[in-house]
Structure 1
Amino acid sequence: MKLLRVGPPGAERPVVLDGTRYLDISGVVSDIGEEFWRTDGVERVQAALAAGTLPEVDVTGLRIGPPIARPGVVLCIGMNYATHAAETGAEPPEHPVMFYKAPNTVVGPNDDVLLPRGSAKADWEVELAVVIGRRARYLESPADALSYIGGYCISNDVSERAFQLETSGGQWSKGKSCETFNPLGPWLVTADEIPDPQALGLRSSVNGEARQDSSTADMVFSVAHLIWQLSQVTVLEPGDVVNTGTPEGVAVSGRFPYLRPGDVMELQIEGLSTQRQRLQSAEQEA
């Protein structure tokens, strides 16, 4: 299934995309978040679809919000593509590099991204996002991990590299947690429709010029390995988001200019659709 949330910020309603029809599921589930996963939301929506009782909704002109309500945590993996590590001058890590983004960075897939005060090195990062479907704690092996995934979506792990690397004090999250720095969506595709998360093409462009073009097959640590490894050091709860890393082709490589107000980012992952954001100054928004 393809799940999404439409409407103004803070007042989104849940919808399922069934072929070409958008169906309102607000009578079945209150939202798509932690409670959705804890109370068998997927199964309840599937039953409603089979019953043919869901009302159709016209989404024309409606904002698309993030496909999940505010997550409890956004976990991120750094340097998870060898080519990206190389373009930054680093070796591929021996163990997954984990850092956090503030949950309030999550915005809709086409919402504006705000460049923070003093920003000089803002960067784009197309990533496969994993949404946790059930509590994962001390999983026995990577072979167990995929059954704990609720779904997948596109994530843009927007980064301010000066904050992240030059004035970070050693903490990457400082350059990752600026407002609007995690566009998510448009859809959350349930895990049953993505049988192999290591076989997805992912691409990005800025102002129509290609930047990233790779495949999740090139990850250093597979999705299954990441979820297993994370479960050894933290408890993953339903509705949590895991950003799984970005491939080469970002501005920190020195090959492309950093982002400026007015720039437009477009990101695509096979089977998960496309998202598009325009950059503007946070000062202008204020």
Structure 2
Amino acid sequence: VDIWPEQWGVTVRQFRELVDRCRSRPEWRAETSMHDFVRDWVLPETAGQGVGYALLANAGGPLEVNVMVSHSWNENVVEFLEALERSVSGTDVMFICALGLFQNGDGSGPTIAEQLGTTAEESPFSRVLEHISRVGRARGWRWRQGRFLQVLPTWLFIVAMTLYSVPLVAERCLPYRAQCLHLDSAVIWHGFLASRDKDAPAAPAMEELTAASKACWLASLAIGAIALLCKLGLRCVRLYTGRMVAVPNRQDDLYSRLWCVYEIFTSTTKQVPVELAWT
């Protein structure tokens, strides 16, 4: 059965496991580049197998790619991995050419030239981007708004906590039920609010807050509830986060790498979102 490039994917956890396994060997060097990593570690792993590391790691069932990774082989492999860990989720499946293509050329599988095809459009890179675009178009708004919807609950929660802190900063008052707790007379201990000084004057009731503080407190409760509902609602919606992730590094200028520029151009042509990794 033919397995096409859109299934030559690995998760960031699988990449981490491979790197950690290699780093545990005494011959590992901290300055190992991606080029060195392929030559010294990936090639021995895949020798005689006829498939790239991605298919070898997922022999029981290839994974469908939703993230195309554009990077340089001159970068430090650990820095590259850590950038990906900051930029993709545990459920994302990445196409990384170093792990997706069969690199050995030992006769047990296709050559690099055979895998790349005779034109750029036939290359695995174009096929993966076309696959992401095709699946994304079929998902409609669940793709176009997918990344925004993923982070929306988090940002709403941040806004809610910011508004909740207004009475805390402006009036040194922690809203709690009908009574406002002063910071001077309350401590947090084992998750319970307890009075430090029983003779301290009673804290004001919530209605004694200024209009601005009261409005911020009520808004924080409303926005917090919306954030929770959004989080629960997204569990019922299958979002699609297909995209390209371009990984800058300290060794090469991203825009001096012709192939990376071409991949980004192809991605935008196919209307696949492009993100820069968090390096």
With normalisation by structure 1, the TM-score equals 0.24
Larger Rg belongs to: 2
With normalisation by structure 2, the TM-score equals 0.25
Choose between structure 1 and 2: higher helix proportion.
2
